[in-house]
Structure 1
Amino acid sequence: MKKILFVVLLALPILTACKEDEKPDEEAFIFGQWNLQCEGNCIQIYKFEGGKLYEDNMRSFREAPIIVYKTTPMDSRYWALGQELEDSFPKDYLMPRGLQFIACSNCVEEGGYYLAFEREAEIIWWQVGRIPELWPEEIRPFMEKMIETMRQFPPQQ
């Protein structure tokens, strides 16, 4: 009996180390806008994950150190907009510049736009200022598309 138990205990790490049914590290695309100096709902952040779009469940960044989202996705008619926006993201320009403020010298006073790609192990983010004339040409079409996309969403409560 001790030998069987020993063999089982010896084999247990080997059997549990390889899990073929593990999910790949799913990526979420996050985008939106925020303002520190406002009243009411000062943050509108959206998370596109698993083909579904979720809206934040906050009224400002002051409520929590991390962004929290509603557990129920937005209506399915908005999911394609999230996918289109992610597909148009200027990765070649922004990915090498991750974890940066872009044209955002007055973000504290004026607020800004928030962009991120989130995985279980990491978050790569950017904060972009509100003044279009200061945006690099490489991101201008995307930023305009993001603003237009967000205008199509229902107002957050």
Structure 2
Amino acid sequence: MTETQAAPVPIDGNGAHCAVEHQLGVLLRRSRALSAELGRVVHPELEPGAYGLLVRIGEVAPARSSDLATYFCVGKATISRQLKVLEGLGLIGREPDPLDGRAHLLNLTDEGRVKLGRARTARQERYHAMLAAWPEEDVRSLAQMLARFNALTDTPGDT
């Protein structure tokens, strides 16, 4: 049996929920591996976790580091270390926050925007190739179900 076919052991007779937990675990492991691969497309020295941070900055820029820490549920020190790496690689820039002189706003640099765009295109092409044999309606249904599931984990800090 492959990892996606392995029969999970139901807890409390809840086989369907157990199967969802198992398949999400497979999806998350594979997604982390893909993020690591795509992070190397952006820059060979980019850590897998920093790739997700770069994507988020691209989505919400200008971003404050404290908001990013809240979004990822990590401490400010962790975010600060990852931001220094992204800045050192020339992928993000900082500018003073005009509303709070103590804070900085983070944006993608032109280089960061181009490199992230390439990586996102590669990811989209990969998913398109994987799902090419599926009917369009099934792909739409998967997207809707994933959005519905992701909404369960939304926090007040999400946009």
TM-score bracket, normalised by the shorter chain, equals under 0.3
TM-score normalized with structure 1 length: 0.24
Greater helix proportion: 2
Higher relative contact order (CA 8 A, sep 6+): 1
TM-score normalized with structure 2 length: 0.23
Greater strand proportion: 1
Query: Which structure has the larger Rg over C-alpha atoms?
Result: 1
